[in-house]
Amino acid sequence: MTRIHLVSDASAQGDSKALLAQVHGAFGATPNMFRAVANSPAALKSMWGFFGALGGGVLPAKLGEQIAVAVADRNACNYCLAAHTALGRKAGASAQEMTAAQAGESADPQTAAALRFALKLVDARGQLAQGDVEALRAAGFDDEHIVEIVAHVALNLFTNYVNVAFDVPVDFPAVKLRAAG
C-alpha cells in the first residue's frame, strides 16, 4: 500500500490537474508515479519537464530506457524497472536487450559503455575519475551526450526514490529484479 496519497483526476487542482492531463495525454493513462508526485505541483512540474527535456535530447530513447532499467535495478525500484522495460520495448529494444541492461550490459559496445558509466555514477555517488569520462569519449560520446547520460541518471534517481520511498503501486507489467549480489 502506498505511503502517500495518489492524487486522482477528481481531486487534482490547479497546476497538478493540468499536468496530470498532459501525462494522461502522453501515456493514454495516468501512471501512479505521477499521481504520487502530484501532491506537489512544483515536483510534478519539475519531473514532467525533465522527462520532456530529455525526450528532446541527443540520446536515443532506447538508450535512455536502457539507462533507466540499469539504474532502477541497482536501486531495487520495481516500479521504474517495470515502466522503463515497457517503454524500452516501445522504443525498439528487445526483451533480451532490456534484461541485459538491468545488469548494465549490452552487446553494443557504445551502449555498454554508457551503462557502465551510469552504474558507476550511481555506485560512486557522482565521485568519478577523468578516466571514466574519457572511456565514454573513447566509445564515441561527445560532451553533450555525456552530460545527458548524467541527466538521465539524475532523473531516474528522482523517480526511483519517489517510487521506493512511497511504495507506489506498480501499474505496468511486472519485471523481476535481478538477484542482489
Could you give the CA distance from residue 10 to residue 165 in angstroms, rounded to a whole number? 25
Do 109 and 23 belong together in one domain?
A: no
Q: What is the identity of the amino acid at 77?
A: C
- Joined grid coordinates for residue 18: 493540468
Do 88 and 162 belong together in one domain?
A: yes
- For the chain, the distance separating the N- and C-terminal CA atoms, rounded to the nearest angstrom, is 27
Do 80 and 157 belong together in one domain?
A: yes
Residue 66 forms part of a structural domain? yes
pLDDT (0 to 100) of residue 180:
56
pLDDT at 83 exceeding the cut of 80: yes
Residue 162: helix, strand or coil by DSSP?
Answer: helix
Could you give the CA distance from residue 112 to residue 115 in angstroms, rounded to a whole number? 5
pTM (two decimals): 0.96
pLDDT, tens only, 134-172: 999 999 999 999 999 999 999 999 999 999 999 999 999
pLDDT (0 to 100) of residue 181:
47
Do 102 and 74 belong together in one domain?
A: yes
How many domains does the chain divide into?
A: 2
Do 26 and 80 belong together in one domain?
A: no
Do 146 and 121 belong together in one domain?
A: yes
For residue 145, what are the domain limits? 61-166
What confidence category does residue 1 fall into, taking pLDDT thresholds of 50, 70 and 90? confident
Do 47 and 122 belong together in one domain?
A: no
In this structure, what CATH number is given to the domain that contains residue 120? 1.20.1290.10
Q: How many helices (H) and strands (E) does the chain have?
A: 9, 0
Residue 181 forms part of a structural domain? no
pLDDT (0 to 100) of residue 2:
82
- In the numeric block, the cell 565514454 is attached to 136
Q: In terms of Cα–Cα distance, which of 98, 97, 139, 89 is closest to 116?
A: 139
